[in-house]
Structure formats: structure tokens, C-alpha cells
Structure 1
Amino acid sequence: MAEVTTNLSIGQVAERTGLSVHALRFYEHEGLFVNAVRRGPGGRRVFSHDDVDWLTVCIILRASGMPLPALRRYAELVRQGAGNEAERLALMREHQANVTTQIGKLTECLDLIRFKVGVYEDLLDPGSAGDHQCHAPIPSPPPHPTEVQSR
């Protein structure tokens, strides 16, 4: 049976995660790893499969818009271990609310884009007897968060 590699080079981790070597060094510098990055005999970074799993979580959280300070805080809490689950939950709930808001805004954008695609498809369809109006009533943008708070 083949031995499972537990010591991965930075290049191997970059290949497995899709992050660049530069990004991995940045993540280390920013304190985003749960475990300290180990060094091999020659001083080169050595990673484990757990590090790759953690990076996968980080990649998803960053792709969802989690700011670096929040991700750094989350990594700190995980590093501390049990006992701070309430704070981790609060951090995740806040991010969940932000992502939900972002999805709502993107859905509104997608609705307008779909409308425009339909208009142009109708314009380019020679058999269409449609109105060919390119402008739809554009909804007013939602108020800026600071405007909502001041009301």
C-alpha cells in the first residue's frame, strides 16, 4: 500500500488549492493558518493535509466576501480551541447575513440582466413582432446603509 504524503511542499499545496505560492506566503504572514507553518530541514515550508483542508475553508470564506480581518479573527478563535464557540457563531452569523444581503443585490442585478438579454434577443429575432423597447423601468437603488441608520 502506498504511503500517504503528509509533508507537502508549498508548490504542491498551491496546486491542490489553486492559490499561488505568493498567496500562501501572504496567508502565513497574515496569520490565517490555524497551525503554525512548519519548516523542513532546509528551511522550506512544509504543509499537512489538515493545512490544505483549512485553506479550503479560507478560500470559500474569502470567495464569499469575508474580509481578511474577520478571517484572521476566525483563525485565531479556531487556534484557541474549545470555549469560544459563541464568538465563532456570532462571526459566522454576521458573515451569513452579509452574504444573504449580497445574494439579494445580485439577484436584483440578474433580473435586470435577464430582462436586457430578452430585449436584445427579441430585437435580433427576425420573426419577432415585439415592441423592441430597450429600456425597462429601472428600480431605484436601495438606500445606503448609513442612510438607513440615520432614519
Structure 2
Amino acid sequence: MPDTVHVLNGPNLNLLGTREPEVYGRATIADVEAACRAACERHGLDLVFRQTNHEGELVTFLQEARGSRGVVLNAAAYTHTSVAIADAIKAVGLNVVEVHLSNVFAREAFRHHSYVSPVARGVICGLGVDGYRLAIDALATAGDRVS
């Protein structure tokens, strides 16, 4: 499992490609998975790719990622609301890169706060699907977690 990257996606990301394409782009969740798979293959890493609309299930996915190379996490709206997700990251000591397709700081004020950012190794936002690839590249070359 140390050679595995988990890419975890939160609510409504199953609707990519049709949900507000002017904000999130036209790529589908299948396109995101294909890009992540290609990035992992370049680094010789295995990929676990998941999406859920349920907060508790996302917490379970984070717990199941324990012992992996790390997690690329697009918690979507839960980024701004979920102490449980932040606690799960801290509890299992995950190496997490937070990713958002859109630039959350150019959007509504409530999106400017993240419960994930303080417990993440880094944050990538506003670069669309490329953000996932960059996050995988970072995890592939990362040393120990930076606190």
C-alpha cells in the first residue's frame, strides 16, 4: 500500500461535465480518473479512485487510506464545513494534498475557509483537472509529511 495514491472526491463531483461547466469545466469524473491513472502510472504508483456524496463515507475512505503514499482530496463543499474530515486526516496521519477545480478564493466568501487546509501538506486550486496531476506528482516525490 505505500505505493498507492488515493484520490477521494466529495459531493456532486459525480456531476462533473454537466454541473456548472463555466465554473468546473467540461471534464467528467471519468476524465479526472483517467488523468489520475496516467499520472500514477508515470510514477509507478497504484491508484484508488473514489467519489461519494456522503460525509461519513468520505471519512471512512480517509481511514482506509492509512499507510498509503498519500491522498489527493477534493472534499468539495465538505471542505468548508467538515470538522470530521479534518479530524480523520489528523487521526490517521495522512499525507494529503487538497485540490479544487475552481479557484475557491475567486468565489463566494464562504468558500474561502477550509477545514482541510490546516491539516493538508498543500493546496492546489483553480487549475482544473491539472490540479489532480500536480497533486499526484507532489505525493510521488514527497518525503515525510510537513506539519
* Shorter-normalised TM range: under 0.3
* TM-score of the aligned structures, taking structure 1 as reference length: 0.24
Structure with larger Rg: 1
Q: So what's the TM-score if we normalise by structure 2? A: 0.24
The structure with more helix, counted as a fraction of residues? 1
